[in-house]
Amino acid sequence: MLKVLNLVIVAIFLLTCVSFVIRQHPEVSKSSRVNTVVIDAGHGGKDPGTRGRNTKEKDVALAVALELGRKIKESTPEVKVLYTRSTDVFIELGERSAFANRNNADLFISVHCNATPRSKTVHGTETFVMGLHKTEGNLEVAKRENSVILQETNYKQKYKGFDPNSPLAHIMLANYQSAFISSSLRLADLIEKKFQSVSERESRGVKQAGFLVLWRCAMPSVLIETGFLSSPDEEDYLSSEDGQAEVAESIHQAFMAYKKDMDR
């Protein structure tokens, strides 16, 4: 009788532990299969994003996002592909992640372009996940991308008083650790490796920073900086159809490798 009671106690303890893990890490309770992906073309409408000599970030991001979605649909028709925007319209940052959450997405991919006013020779790709700023450069990228909220009405109420001009606010935001960090890092690493192997681009690596567009995503999520529009060579590449198709193919191959891994 005592042995049976001990077994019951152990069973209850194990069930409690499992329940705790699921509550702390919601992805454990979800299917690991990739059935729905949301592709987010950064900026749009009244928000052009960063600029090159003749190119706007919003246009490159949209072209790459649509091409990426087309490739995913073609190779894996069973995967549902959704876009936060498919035209040149302004979408608030909070609505982008909310859209992914409403549609129970298994993956969120946000496409952007980089820039730096300090140099025309800096180039290469970077893929970010939600996390703590490791360098001043990471902070500057996050501040630039998050400044979009200044074009939204009542942004302080929507984002709990977040000030995109405050370094302290970004550090506090970056401390938010998503339960999906390991999967996000896995996808980000695959993307940067494919940029190197598929299109022979220079990879500046996988990085972490506090992005408002990622912080409420209830699924693995990445933000891709596809290159520097402040570099004339990269601007020419990113503004061309061939360049955009090659960027999309690199991300597509990373997606396929990630999906295969997760489905297995």
Grouped pLDDT means (10 residues each) for the chain, 264 residues: 42 38 43 89 96 97 98 98 98 90 94 93 94 56 60 61 62 56 94 96 91 82 97 98 98 97 88
Asked whether the beta carbons of 108 and 41 are under 8 A apart, the reply is no
CB-based burial label for 190 (10 Å; 0-12, 13-18, 19+): buried
Count of CB atoms situated within 10 Å of the CB of 167: 14
pLDDT at 214: 83
Is residue 89 classed exposed, middle or buried when 0-12, 13-18 and 19+ CB atoms within 10 A define those classes?
middle
Helices marked H in 80-227: 93-102, 136-146, 155-158, 167-174, 181-199, 212-215
pTM of the prediction?
0.77
Residue 212 confidence (pLDDT): 77
Q: Hey, what domains does the chain have and what are their CATH numbers?
A: 29-263 (3.40.630.40)
Paired strand residues for 149: none
pLDDT at site 117? 87
The CA distance from 46 to 43, in Å, is 8
In whole angstroms, give the CA distance from residue 16 to residue 178.
22
> What six digits make up the tokens of 199?
């299109």
